[in-house]
Amino acid sequence: MVRFISLAALALGACASTCPPALPKIETVEVSVPIRKPCEVPPVPAPAYIFDSMDPAQPIDAKVAALLEDRLKQAQTERLLRAALDGCTQ
């Protein structure tokens, strides 16, 4: 019986002892991450509108003609801006 008690005490003593914790293994991993290249397009110049430089005393038909011409300029500028944006998003 003494043998059994000493064997049990030895077994319990072995379980109660603390082993030094295993050190974590440090591993370097290389990860490829895509980086977007900044879009470099030439700036689109702002159009010079005729209506902005008109005399307010001019007749209404001249003002309307100027506004229609300015609208065409604006449409052309918008096409240039959209083309520049499309070039950046591809």
Q: How far is CA 47 from the centre of its chain?
A: 31
Share of the chain above pLDDT 90, in %: 44
Average pLDDT over residues 15-33: 81
| pLDDT confidence bin for 14, thresholds 50/70/90 | low
What is the model's pLDDT at position 65? Answer: 95
Give the type of residue at 56. P
Q: Where do the structural domains in the chain lie, given as residue ranges? A: 43-90
What pTM did the predictor assign?
0.53
| pLDDT confidence bin for 17, thresholds 50/70/90 | low
3-state secondary structure the chain: CHHHHHHHHHHHHHHHCCCCCCCCCCCCCCCCCCCCCCCCCCCCCCCCCCHHHCCCCCCHHHHHHHHHHHHHHHHHHHHHHHHHHHHHHC
